[in-house]
Amino acid sequence: MHAFQPRNFFKTSVAALAVAVAVPVFAQTTITNVSYDPTREFYREYNAAFDAHWQATKGERVNVRQSHGGSGSQARAVIDGLDADVVTLALAYDVSALHDRADLIPADWQARLPSNSSPYTSTIVLLVRAGNPKNIKDWNDLARDDVEVITPNPKTSGGARWNYLAAWGYGLKKYGSEEAAYEFTKKIYANVPVLDPAARGATNTFVQRRIGDAFIAWENEAFLAVEQLGRGEYEIVVPSVSILAEPPVTIVDRNVDRKGTREVAQAYLEFLYTDEAQRLAGKHFYRPSNPAIGAEFADRFPDVNFFTIDEVFGGWKVAQETHFNDGGVFDRILREINQ
Amino acid sequence: MAIALRQPSVIPGFGITLGFTIFYLGLLIVIPIAGLLLYTLQMSWDDFWRAVSDRQVVASYKLSFGASLIAALINLVFGAIVAWVLVRYRFTGKRIVDALVDLPFAMPTAVAGIALVTLYASTGWVGQYLNVYGIRIAYTQIGVIVALTYIGLPFVVRTVQPVLEDLDKEAEEASAIMGANRFTTIRRVILPALLPALLTGFALAFARALGEYGSVIFISGNLPFRTEITPLLIVAKAEQFDYAGAAAIAAFLLLLLINGLQWWASRRYR
């Protein structure tokens, strides 16, 4: 064994440093994409595609660091200083918080990219056990007394707020009044035996614990459950009407300007709207926002009678304040169920 | 006080170690708790009271305190027995048993929660047999107690163990020679010596259980008013960016805990 020789060590260090400085050919930019849980697989593939694209056009490598977690906690992390160049979250309310709470992005952030800044969309569907033993066809079956429903708590899970709003929107359309929609939504939540704090936990309850007859899920997650967790054990039931879930993306202006990464971050998000990326989204069970690419996946994504959160609820801010904040409609529902 | 501080201690290094202790505790404990209280200062007294006295929140205090108390009591009894076995007997595999006690410290709480629910759900290995008798553990308040008992186990064992090791066997022998039966020996000789350690272990297990989040949420079912623990409500508030509300409940929980422990400690040392 060699004795440690400071002189050699010094020489090696200098050589290493020289190599590091002399090889700008492999210049590399690093950006951070803060996203929510189920986009993991999509962005892994997308990041490789974008890296290739950026190398071809700019001759530069892009290393995208991914961060995944619950949408709300991810937004909070960015507010509290996580160095995100772009955020790709589950709902506009969480992204707007970056403006409202920390002024990291401008107020009109959602108008900066096409399709409400949602390059891919999804919807809320029902996952049932193979053969559909409880014969669940639509939202109103979830209000039946003999059906157990699994859905996460909308107070803690951003994704689950879409579930709640989809059910409410159906009740409103079907029964015609706010009061009836309230009673309908209350009946569904009275059928919930386990209220998990997050979507992943709820999936676990339904799939591993085998609790519940129907699982209210994002379409892309329902597909994942069917494909990965138990082929032939579950069926997707597409309800007659559902909400158009728009998970939005934006660059975090304050961070990209400080780090000088605005150009690449902007390109990273714009590339999401190209045909190549749209196909990747479709492959990972998100509905492409480009209708032409969407048509290529027509057999995968059946037509749903969509309504948007803006149409029925007047946008996220109003929906959040009316339904989910403390003392809101959802709290009232819980209170009345537990009286 | 100032005079006492200036008096040179027999052991050198008092100034620097005390300085370090204060700095260390300040950085890790005092500043975060001060931040917590600062957040609650943003609220008016009415808002604060509304946040901490809401019906749903009060229901969660009852569950959190009740389940933590029961879990700590279970650990008090069985932790003492485990410590006794580990100190007083020699058997093969003793070191493995000894290491097992620390497992709840080492295992990520989420893993523990998932493992427990897999075991105790009505489809689980243990749960399916209990289900026959109509006993449901997962997704009930019993499930919360099970998880809290699991994470609190090491505290009682590890505080009682060293005290038990130092306990003079002569005292027990003397007790026996003087005609006491075994029960009396335990009650009059061993228990009084162990009491401080038992109570410390109990208090630690209780405090730990009160703050536990990771393992409980998997097994409790999290139904508001029924199986929802207070830490989950704090997370729910933070998730809505209601930092002040979250801080208010956390501060109130801390207040209740400190008051409770103080009341209890004052009785103990009376």
**Among A102-111, B175-184, B242-251, which stretch is predicted with the lowest mean pLDDT?**
B175-184
Q: Best residue in B217, B241, B242, B249 to probe A by mutation, most A CBs within 10 Å?
A: B241
Question: Is a pLDDT exceeding 70 seen at residue B270?
Answer: no
Chain B contact set for A197 (CB, 8 A): 217, 222, 232, 235-236
Which pLDDT value is given to residue A26?
56
Q: Which residue of B has its CA nearest to A152?
A: B222
Q: Which amino acid is at A196?
A: D
Which pLDDT value is given to residue A12?
55
Do domains A25-118+246-273 and A121-245+303-337 share one topology? The answer is: yes
Which pLDDT value is given to residue A16?
53
Confidence of residue A232 (pLDDT cuts 50, 70, 90): confident
- Of the candidates A72, A201, A335, which has its C-beta nearest B239's C-beta? A72
CATH number of A25-118+246-273: 3.40.190.10
Going from N- to C-terminal start, the domains of chain A cover: 25-118+246-273, 121-245+303-337
Confidence of residue A25 (pLDDT cuts 50, 70, 90): low
The 3-state DSSP class for residue A61 equals: strand
Spell out where chain A has E strands. Answer: 28-35, 61-67, 86-88, 120-129, 149-150, 214-218, 234-237, 241-245, 249-251, 287-288, 305-307
Q: Best residue in A326, A330, A339 to probe B by mutation, most B CBs within 10 Å?
A: A326
Question: Is a pLDDT exceeding 60 seen at residue B164?
Answer: yes
What Å distances lie between residue A298 and A285, A288, A290, A295, A303, CA to CA?
Answer: 12, 11, 12, 5, 8
Q: Rounded mean pLDDT of B30-54?
A: 90
Token readout for B159 is 């505080």
Q: Which residue from B225, B209, B227 is spatially nearest to B147, judged by alpha carbons?
A: B209
Distance between CA atoms of residues B86 and B64, nearest Å: 31
Q: Best residue in A71, A205, A329 to probe B by mutation, most B CBs within 10 Å?
A: A205
Name residues 57-116 of chain B within 8 A of A (Cβ). Answer: 114
Which pLDDT value is given to residue A4?
47
Portion of chain A with pLDDT greater than 70, in percent = 92
Q: Rounded mean pLDDT of B132-145?
A: 92
Angle between helices B191-211 and B55-88 (to 10 degrees): 140
Q: Rounded mean pLDDT of A320-334?
A: 92
- Say if residues A182 and A333 touch (Cβ distance below 8 Å): yes
Q: What is the CATH topology of the domain spanning B54-239?
A: MetI-like fold (1.10.3720)
Q: Which residue of A has its CA nearest to B118?
A: A209
DSSP A102-156: T--S-TTGGGSSHHHH-SEEEEEEEEEETT-TT---SGGGGGSTT--EE---TTT
Q: What is the DSSP letter of A225?
A: I
Distance between CA atoms of residues A153 and A155, nearest Å: 5
Q: Cβ of B217 under 8 Å from any chain A Cβ? A: yes
Question: Is a pLDDT exceeding 50 seen at residue B1?
Answer: no
The 3-state DSSP class for residue A31 equals: strand
User: How many residue contacts between A and B have a Cβ separation below 8 Å?
Assistant: 73
Instruction: Quote the minimal CA–CA distance from A226 to chain B in Å.
Output: 21
Which pLDDT value is given to residue A3?
47
- Of the candidates B117, B138, B221, which has its C-beta nearest A195's C-beta? B221
Q: Cβ of B196 under 8 Å from any chain A Cβ? A: no
Q: What is the DSSP letter of A80?
A: T
Distance between CA atoms of residues A285 and A273, nearest Å: 16
Sign for the CA dihedral angle at B41, B44, B46, B51 comes to: negative
Contact (CB<8Å) A70/B138? no
What Å distances lie between residue A26 and A63, A74, A257, A268, B246, CA to CA?
Answer: 12, 31, 23, 19, 47
Which pLDDT value is given to residue A338?
84
Contact (CB<8Å) A193/B218? no
Q: Which amino acid is at A271?
A: F
Contact (CB<8Å) B117/A193? no
Q: What is the DSSP letter of B214?
A: T
Portion of chain B with pLDDT greater than 90, in percent = 57
Which pLDDT value is given to residue A24?
47
Paired residues of A242 in beta bridges = A306
Going from N- to C-terminal start, the domains of chain B cover: 54-239
The 3-state DSSP class for residue B134 equals: coil
Which pLDDT value is given to residue B258?
83
Q: Rounded mean pLDDT of B58-87?
A: 95
Confidence of residue A308 (pLDDT cuts 50, 70, 90): very high
**Among A57-66, A176-185, B47-56, B172-181, which stretch is predicted with the lowest mean pLDDT?**
B172-181
- Of the candidates B51, B114, B225, which has its C-beta nearest A338's C-beta? B225
Which pLDDT value is given to residue B122?
84
- Within 10 Å of residue B33's Cβ, how many Cβ atoms? 13
Which pLDDT value is given to residue A37?
86
Mean pLDDT of chain A: 90
Count the helix, strand and coil residues of chain A and give each as a percent rounded to the nearest 5.
55, 15, 30
- Say if residues A256 and A265 touch (Cβ distance below 8 Å): yes
Confidence of residue A1 (pLDDT cuts 50, 70, 90): very low
Q: Which residue of A has its CA nearest to B139?
A: A194
Q: Rounded mean pLDDT of A3-28?
A: 53
Which pLDDT value is given to residue B112?
93
Interface of A with B (CB under 8 A): 70, 72-73, 75-76, 97, 100-101, 153, 155-158, 192-197, 201, 204, 208-211, 320, 324-326, 331, 334-335, 338
Instruction: Quote the minimal CA–CA distance from A195 to chain B in Å.
Output: 5
Question: Is a pLDDT exceeding 60 seen at residue A22?
Answer: no
What Å distances lie between residue B223 and A192, A195, A203, B70, CA to CA?
Answer: 9, 6, 17, 20
Pairwise pLDDT comparison (A200 vs A319), residue with the higher score: A319
Chain B contact set for A326 (CB, 8 A): 51, 54, 237, 240, 242, 245
Query: CATH homologous superfamily for A121-245+303-337?
Result: Periplasmic binding protein-like II (3.40.190.10)
Instruction: Quote the minimal CA–CA distance from A181 to chain B in Å.
Output: 21
Q: Which amino acid is at A174?
A: K
Contact (CB<8Å) B236/A325? no
- Of the candidates B54, B118, B239, which has its C-beta nearest A156's C-beta? B239
Q: Rounded mean pLDDT of A185-212?
A: 90
Distance between CA atoms of residues A93 and B227, nearest Å: 28
Distance between CA atoms of residues B43 and B270, nearest Å: 38
- Of the candidates B123, B221, B240, which has its C-beta nearest A193's C-beta? B221
Name residues 40-59 of chain B within 8 A of A (Cβ). Answer: 51, 54-56
What Å distances lie between residue B101 and A151, B154, B155, CA to CA?
Answer: 36, 6, 9
